[in-house]
Structure 1
């Protein structure tokens, strides 16, 4: 499909895509692409995530990983293709419409509300999500519960400037979870963390999986993304290089050559 699609089209996914007994995907992209002038940042990405599954996305810097998230969540408008959330076509819809459809995301560079406390950062999401809290007091109560869940219990009154790198990333996740999403997209939530902090974050992601949340996780730490993903998608020059089970993908010669390197392959074969 070529040309810019109409913004925010709605309607059920065609019946041919939902035929059969398998549950309809929470997220489906078909032919998804984005061009910036002469640069094709993302090209012809087909992706389908059933409920409760976790897809890991890896690839070199500049491969199009964050651009893919931006296209799904409405922060960029696709140049081609479609984005369907729970069977509804939200291609080109504004970010708040995508959020109200049950989609939340984190940002690679954390984006707190710097004039607010940790608690109020999360309460904003609770107030303006698809199932909003009725009052600011109720929103703060919900925020406190989410902060406890992500390991920030007791840090409610702090300013965002008082948080460590690890805690700032937990706050980013808490804001997303306060929207009560059905689909959560994580953009390098482990970046800059120490090993013990990575372990704690992976445990949290695993808990979210067990709770039935559908996840798309972009990450550079291969061992980490292997631990949490049911499938891995590899992007290279904006295109899907490979998509499949983690062991199969990480053992593929094309993936080793384009991303992992021979040293990784040798170390993991011994």
Structure 2
């Protein structure tokens, strides 16, 4: 069966899906996106993802392409047409198509909406959880509004490529004060020497990840002590555990950073417990 995409009101073959050359997402990265996990036929944390989409659109003053209820139905239909039981959907909204000009197009220009869906192999994620992943640190060179989930991801792509060339799977951004921010596509957590679960505050400088938010609820269920505070690279390297979170991976243990082994070099018990409980806590909506 061919993959199907939704593009501005039409379901089309993924191989022939396209947008106009003057779409502002293509020319200015003037748009936002969401990625949401599908697990065993259920959409995970969709309410929180759509809430964040609403915030991102509001911050960039982009209109919703349709009502929230209608968008939910289009997402479901795209998933059904692609027969996704385990995988993800990608949703992108841009300011629309207009003559190339830096200022916004005239009021009433319709936003562009693209939705794609694909199946993934759960065994790949399971292997990464069992073995852990490697990461590198990079200086943060992104714009200041990384709290908006915008499609302007060139620095992230460059950081991920740098990680790949170093034999790692994630790049962790470090701020000018030497403090850990977040991964190129993830939030970063540590378990400190006191057994406390620590992550950087999401008030400024990082994206408030949906998996990050749900993990707070998971931590409460597990009666873990959680602190939102800044932490340095040396503290991260000396932590009992380091792991990263994202919608497509949930919770990957990090066993090496910049070539230095974390703890005993194996995935830790806290990240394992979190993965065991996560889907009991996360919202699940049937396709």
Fold shared by both chains (TM-score > 0.5): no
Q: Which has the higher helix share?
A: 1
Greater relative CO (CA pairs within 8 A, separation 6+): 1
Q: Which has the higher strand share?
A: 2
TM-score normalised according to structure 1 size: 0.31
